[in-house]
Each structure stands twice: as structure tokens, then as C-alpha cells.
A and B are shown apart, each in its own frame.
Chain A
Amino acid sequence: MNALNPYCPDLATVQEVIQETHNIRTLRIRLNDEEKMQDFSFRPGQVGQLSVFGVGESTFVINSPPTRKDYLQFSVMRVGEVTKRIHELNAGDPIGVRAPLGNGFAYEEMKGRDILFIGGGIGMAPLRTLLLHMIDNRTDYGDITVIYGARSPQDLCYTYEFDEWRAGGVNLVLTVDAEFPGWTGRVGFVPTVLKEESPAPDNRIAITCGPPIMIKFVLFGLKELGYEDHQVLTTLEKRMKCGVGICGRCNLGPKYVCLDGPVFSLDQLGKMVPEL
């Protein structure tokens, strides 16, 4: 972040673009200021505002882990004006970044515990950060189970990494909504697969991110399995402008998703103004 002016992005350069699915691209960027890049530190789950100058800014999670510092990675689904232009960027193009913003995951408190990630579609992006951070510090954690689903096999992100995740001691359960030729993984919606897997809640933290309808039923499912609200974390998305708790857009009552979030426990969400 620019210490003197939080609205002023740091200039960066796109290093590499990965086409994840038909509408999701992953950008790997480096800050132009080499010293700043070396010193850049963040927590898994923190976000950044990417700028395409002349079009605008949008918020995305930094989905490379702090343990891997060659680049900062952002996965972007093409939905609106800014994301459309981000998808047009190629290696070598300039981009602006204001990061890190937000609170991130309290991963220190998860040490020694079993972990359950439940992701849907682009919702895997924020989970990947924490997952890789945990793989890089594997002995700190117990069982790590990932339930990751998408509409079709072509809608799964990070497929090229799945072997690495498994090799890192992750129990990876993949599911798609319907049968597809050649698909050997599970078939069914994420909440259904969660029920089938039924990871025990004892000493476990569940972290979920995905489309609102998936989250809704995942939360029901977790409750049924006996998870308490403080054991369940999610990371929220809101329309944001300033990203620093000033412009007044992403608040849930007195809490700002950009500043106090985006990571909240179900416990915290239950006490907040219901404007999700």
C-alpha cells in the first residue's frame, strides 16, 4: 500500500496469464518497485484492488500464499466492465494494485486442528491461498479435506495443481453438478457431497466460499453435522470502491467488509445487519 495516499495504487506489471475456465483468468503480477515487491507481506485471505487505469478498480483476493513470493496472483471472473478489461491484459501490460487490504484468515488459531475447505467455482480462489499456505506448513495442521465443486469439469479452476495438492497431503474431493463424458470424480451439488463425506466437526475448522446459494446450503449442512458457528468461516464479497473503510459502500452495519472482513465467522455474521 501507498503509505501516504491509500487511493494511489502501486504500479505493477503482468507476468503471466493463465486461462482457468472459459470466463476465469489468473493473473500473476509483480510490483514495479523491486524493493516493495521484496518487502510485500500479507496474510492469506487478504485482498487487493486491481486497477485498469481508465476503466476502474475491482477487489480480488490475493490467491498466491505469502510463502510463495515470486508473484502476486489474482483469479478474475469476467463479469463486469473492469473484469472484462482485466481479461484483455497480457504479460508485460501495466496494472495498478492496492494491496494488501482486509483482515485475512486467522491461520495461527487453526494450527493443530483439522481443516475442511468447501469451495464452489471461483470461490476456490480465496481458499487456495490458505490451502497452499497450509501445504507449505503441513505439519502445523491435522487432516485437510477439500470439497471443491463446479458446474462442469471445464469450470474447475487450478486443475493443473490438483496433483500437487494431493501430494501435499490433502484429501481432495471434486464434484461437478452433472455427469460429463470422461469425468471420474463425484457428481452432485457441493452441499450434497458435504453430507456424503460428513467430515467430523471435532477439532475442525470449516472454511467456505462460493456462490451465495451454495454457501446457504453448505451452512445448513455444516449445522446438521454438528459444526458450531465459531467453527465456520466464510469470506464475503461486496461492491467496493475505496477499499479502506471510508467510502461507505460495503458495510454490514458498523462493520466494513473491506476493512473488518472479508473473512468472518458465522458467529460474527449472526450478530450483523442482514445485508449479505
Chain B
Amino acid sequence: MTGKVYIAQPDLEKVLSKLAGNMDVWVPAAPANGKWGVEFMPYHSGLAPILNRRSSLPPKKVLLPQMEALLRFEYQKDPQDPSKVTLRLDDPTADSLTSRPVLVFGARPCDTRGFLTLDRTFTNGPYVDAYYRKRRENTFFATLVCGEADSACFCSSVGSGPADMEGSDLRLIPVEDGYVLETLTERAAFILDSLESLALPPTEIQEAAAKQINDEISSQPASGFPPGTVEAFRGRFENLGYWQEAVEQCLSCGVCTYVCPTCYCFTITDEMKNLEGARLRSWDSCMFSHYTSEASGHNPRPTKLERYRNRVGHKFSYIPTNYDGMIGCCGCGRCIRLCPVSIDIRKVVQGLKEETCECA
């Protein structure tokens, strides 16, 4: 279980190719079509993983695809009796949704931690999401100890940190000219075993270097929200004035939700062609007005104030309330980096705590 190997930088592609023989391996890489950014994609030979930059998008889609068919159905008409219509329903979870194990290689601790929030909602509630659970049981995380914090990062403020391995199966530490990859969970032991002679255990020097890097990164001081923030949050909900000030410039574009590792809200819609159709699950965004608007025209969250309050409240109050105080934000900072009008969720949450806040 404490298996460790050293992977020299030039051998990385060989190692990934070997792993990809038995598993679906997802790595952060640049899209071939010249699209901006780094995102997670299935590894294939020739694809160069980008491990020295944070990915623009989290690997959320590995466990929660942007769109998937929950059901397929077909109406069948009886040629003998045209008025008689029967229905055939196929549930894709009934057969194996994913037969091959999946490895997410090179996610940062914030990205891996994002799934801890999804785990609680999708598998710990009174109802279990069979699609998510099947994928989750088959998915392994080789998480990269993160040395590249920028001004938007705040993982250490939300109970995590750049070396946090909660939810990870393997630890990947960047050392000079390569990586030390270490098994952390029993269930992931087979992964390093499958490499056979391709990767050797680290030398003492390599191991010591890895330990030093991990220690250095682990010991970075935690910054951010003072204790009691979550409690203070609850008292300020009714003050729409505060939210007015916090999100005055919000465009309701929803990018914060799409790039967020812990945003999972979805919609369900049916698509039909002739007599066949599918019920689809797609990512949705609580920042959109249609999200809650009802057929009658009534909308319980009529303006962006209520919608943003719900988004922040969900992460910093509702999830902690429902799931043992765990904050439903992993501190990756993507919503801060990518917001077109520079709304900073840290300031919004901090402002709720501060008694002297002008908007109170």
C-alpha cells in the first residue's frame, strides 16, 4: 500500500500509455483545436500533459458529464391496433455504466477535494445517484501536490491546502526532472503494480527531495476566513441590501458555476426523434433566472440578488448545515479568475462576517 515510484520526466508519457492500457486516464492538457486554456481530457499517446500550470477547468466532467442520458425510451405502436401505444424504457445504470477503471492524473488538491462536496450530495443523502456512484466507485485520483498558488487561490481558507490529499488515492510530488508517485489507498494499489518494471522505486535522494517539497508546501500558513464566518453568514440572509452591493456588477453569465468544481446543479430534459428519445441530465446554473422560474410565471428567486445569495449560501451555509460543517467550496479560485466583472467570493463571504461592513 505504501508503494512509491519515481517517474523521470521523459518517461511520463510511457507510464501514462501503460496505465491507459488498463484504465481511462484523464490528464490536464491543451485542446488540440487551439482553444484557450488547459482542461482534462482522456490521455492518448502523443498528448502532452500540462502539469506545471493550473487547469482552467476542473475535472468535474469525469464524474458528472456536462450532458448524459439518464434514460432512453421508445414508443411502440401496435400495427394491429393503432390506438395502442406501449413504451419501452432503458435504464443505463442497469448494465455497467463504466466497465474500465478511471484515473484522474494530475488534478490539484482543490480539484480532487471538489468531489468531496459532490460525494455528499450524490451519494450520502436519502437517495443515491446511481450514475455518479457507479463512476465514483471506479475512479481514482492521482493528485499533484500544488506549488503554484496565485492571488486567486484560497484553498487553505476552506479547510484544505496545497498538499491536502483528502479524497486522493495517489500522491504525485513534482521533484527535479520528474515525479514521485505514491499510493495512499488500498484500493489503488493495483495501479502502481500495473507499471511493473516501467517505474522504479525512488532513490533515497529522490524520496528525501519529495518529502521536503511536500513538507514545505504543507507548512504554508493558512489564510482567509476567520472562525465563525459560516455562523455569521446565516444571520445576514435577509439583508438584500448587502447582496445588492456585493453583486451590483454581476452579469448573470453563470461562468462561476460552470468552472466551479463543487457546483453540480443540473437540469433534466427530454429529447425525442420520431418514436425514440432520451432523458438528459445537463449542467445548469443557479445564476440563471430560468433556473427556478415556474410555469405560472412566478419566480422564487426573481433577481440576481437572491440567485447569488443562494450560490454563496449553498457553499458556505447550506452544505455546512447539511453535511457536518464541511464548506462546499474548495478554494480553487476559478470563479474569481474567470469572472468577467471581477466579483470576488472571498470578499463577499468576508463582508458577511464584518460587523462594520457599510452595506450592513
Contacts and interface: CB of A to CB of B under 8 A. Distances in A.
Interface string B263-306: 01111111010000101010010100001111110101100001
A237 interface: yes
Given A6-B129, A249-B291, A93 B85 contact: yes
Question: What is the predominant secondary structure among interface residues of chain B facing chain A?
Answer: mixed
A259 B272 contact: no
A249 B89 CA distance: 26
Binding site of A, secondary structure by majority: helix, strand, loop or mixed? loop
Interface in A1-36: 2, 4-9, 11
A36 B292 CA distance: 33
Nearest to B267: A241
A249 B290 CA distance: 11
Contacts of B296: 79
A106 interface: no
Interface stretch (A50-58, A130-138, A181-189): A50-58
Interface string A44-71: 0000000001111110000000000000
Interface stretch (A166-174, A193-201, A268-276): A268-276
Contacts of A276: 300
Nearest to B301: A275
Contact of B295 (A7, A53, A79, A96): A79
Contacts of B336: none
A129 B279 CA distance: 30
Nearest to B275: A54
A53 B75 contact: yes
Contacts of A250: 292
Nearest to B84: A92
A244 B126 contact: yes
B204 interface: no
Contacts of B73: 53-54
B250 interface: no
B127 A55 contact: no
Given A94-B87, A246-B125, A275 B71 contact: no
B313 interface: yes
Contacts of A241: 266-268
Nearest to A101: B127
B268 A253 contact: no
A245 B125 contact: yes
A247 B86 CA distance: 30
Contact of A8 (B89, B292, B293): B89
A246 B294 contact: no
Contacts of A53: 73, 75, 87, 89, 270, 277, 279
A233 to B, nearest CB: 19
B121 interface: yes
Contacts of B300: 238, 275-276
A6 B318 contact: no
Given A54-B272, A253-B237, 4 more contacts: A7-B131, A56-B270, A79-B295, A246-B127
Interface of A: 2, 4-9, 11, 53-58, 79-81, 83, 92-94, 96, 212, 237-239, 241-242, 244-251, 253-254, 259, 273-276
6 contacts: A4-B93, A53-B87, A54-B270, A54-B272, A94-B75, A276-B300
